[in-house]
Structure 1
Amino acid sequence: MVTFNRRGGTSSGGERQLFSIQKIFISLAVILVSLFLCALRLRSSLAEQYSVSSNPKDNSVSSNPKAIPKNKIVTSTRNSSGDSDKPIQVAYAISLIKCSDKQSSTSGLIDAATVLRHSVHQTSMRNPSSGSKYDYKMYAIVHKKAESCSHLLGDLGYHIIVKDSPVQTSEIRGDYLRKHVHKEWCCGADEFVKLFAYTIHDHPIVVHTDIDFMYVKPMDDLFDAMLLPHDSDEGKAARDKVELEYPDKQQSMPEDIQAYLTRDYHQVIPGRKAAFQAGFIVLKPNQKVFDEYLEIIREGNYVEGFSRENGWGGKGYGGVVGSMAMQGLPAII
């Protein structure tokens, strides 16, 4: 087959095929450049949204003023830096007690930590559509046994706090607890590192949460009820919105709400008391409460068995998974 070129000459089919191949390569190059530019824009957008420090020594999450509408600023109480003109920053803390084992994996740790952090971000003031007025900062309370894999959380923007168990088993005076707490699910006395949430004093509120949680709406009402004066119109309105365990019974809230806890009804035996869900506690940092917890653990007043008078202080919160550790401990304080 012969075709005519512009000069009136002829070109072979091979030359035409070469020209077609060149057009394909040019098209591919344009597509790749376009994809590269889109990727750069997406990276820039995500960096601006989350504002994660590029300094590997500082994995804390910083506030992005561009993403915070002026009408969302809270000035009812001071933030962690003492500046009343900046939004209040709530600490969200997880506990990492051990690295991968038969129950968990590195990929699972990364996935869960990423989903949790994204859900916190989406329900904070950094997402204007959430309607929240509270900022956040992510923490990981890491047991020394898990320090080797904690960098994975640091890379995801969690501020790492490495701690040993606040109470060693040998310090426990109660005979039964000292001999059996190491068998408790999941981590024995090591689970008490969760109590270090009470020592994160740079924030007015700390939400201790399990890593497999995901938040779907802001908790501003809970935070407002803790921080606003109980007798103010705003404080009263916030308290009216807090869901109580027994809404049909006459209940009163303390003037100074120190913590919110939830029950673990999945384990409760009919007619018995439900233990606590240690995976979700909203609290005000308090060194005195932290020290009180440690002394209770050291005393080790835990009644064994499945009677109505078992568990910590014989108050009937024993006999369930985690009752010798954080699932039952809050009952005694």
Structure 2
Amino acid sequence: ILYTSIITLIITISLFLIYIIVFTSTLTDPENSSSINYSNKQLDIIPPKKKIAFVITITKDGHFQDGAAVLAYSIIKSFQNLSYQYTFVAFVHPTVSIARPILSRIGFHVIETPTPVNVSAISGSFLREKINNNGCCGASELMKLYAYRLLQYDRVIHLDADTIVLKEFSELIERNYSLIYTTDPNMATHQGEQRMPVQGGFIILQPSMD
């Protein structure tokens, strides 16, 4: 009986040791460790998609709605393979009425936007007397500055309604600059001016109230 008990004890200990060896090797098996790594990868946090606003400014009623529709379509075609969440926005002057429902049907979110300055209160006589006759829209051109207030977006891209996008420009959107713009030498007051005027037809900015 004693002999049988000893044999049984030895067999039990042997089976226990075999179990420990097999269990340990399973944990250290490269194949199993790769599956553990794979599971960890599933827990990685995916960064949210950038929210983009493509904005146009409408200062008065006119025959431009076709251009706005073509612009919107060109953006859809150019950016369709990118993972941005984008919205079309139209700043419209309080005097604009006919264009509003048309822009809404095209897909623009219409925001009524007054001229942000009181021209008569401008202290400098040169600017006060000239601004209303400057460019296509006078002081109403400054409505574009409201783009900085669209804080719900990561980037705001302001384009003229008569432009068309031929190719996506995500490399500019991804740059960490507060403002990207093109200059307009033709609007300079004199030759050799150091600070060129901003061309309002293409602006990329990060919204901010600062």
Alpha-carbon shift at residue 215 of structure 1 (Å)? 1.1
TM-score (norm 2): 0.71
What is residue 52 of structure 2 aligned with on the other side? 90
Evaluate the alpha carbon distance shift between residue 280 and residue 133 of structure 1 in structure 2; reply closer, same or farther with a 3 A threshold.
Answer: same
Q: Distance in 1 between matches of 2:59 and 2:142?
A: 10
Distance 1:114 1:171, change over 3 A: same
Contact in 1 for aligned 2:65/2:99 (Cα 8 Å): no
CA distance in 1, matches of 2:175, 2:46: 15
More strand by share: 2
Instruction: Tell me if 1:204 matches 2:150.
Output: no
Q: Give matches, 1:102-251, under 5 Å.
A: 105=63, 109-124=64-79, 127-128=80-81, 132-226=82-176
- CA change 1:266–1:189 in 2 (3 A) is closer
Residue pair 2:91, 2:112 contacting (<8 A) in 1 also? yes
Cα offset, 1:267, TM superposition: 5.5
Shift in Å, 1:184:
1.3
The structural deviation recorded for 1:272 is 4.1
The whole-number CA distance in structure 1 between the counterparts of 2:92 and 2:77 is 25
> SS of the counterpart of 2:104?
helix
The residue type equivalent to 1:287 in the other structure is: M
2:30 corresponds to: none
CA contact (8 A) 1:140 1:160 kept: yes
TM-score for the superposition, normalised by structure 1:
0.46
Q: 5+ residue gaps in structure 2? A: 1-44
Structure with more of its chain in helix, by fraction: 2
Give the counterpart letter for 1:95 in structure 2. Answer: T
Tell me the equivalent position of 2:205: 283
Bigger relative CO (Cα 8 Å, ≥ 6 apart): 2
1:242-321 matched pairs, under 5 angstroms: 257-265=177-185, 271-273=192-194, 274-288=196-210
What letter is aligned with 2:170?
D
Partner secondary structure for residue 123 of structure 1: helix
Residue deviations 1:258-300 (CA, integer Å, cap 9, x gap) = 0101122456676445432111100001112xxxxxxxxxxxx
For the Cα contact (< 8 Å) 1:259–1:281, is it kept in 2?
yes
Structure index of larger Rg: 2
Match of 1:287, SS?
Answer: coil
Query: CA deviation digits over 1:226-268, x for unaligned, max 9?
Result: 2xxxxxxxxxxxxxxxxxxxxxxxxxxxxxx101011224566
Cα gap change, 1:267 to 1:172, in 2 (>3 Å) = closer
Distance verdict in 2 for CA 1:222–1:284, change over 3 Å: same
Q: Sort the Cα spacing of 1:75 and 1:193 in 2 relative to 1 into closer, same or farther, 3 A.
A: farther
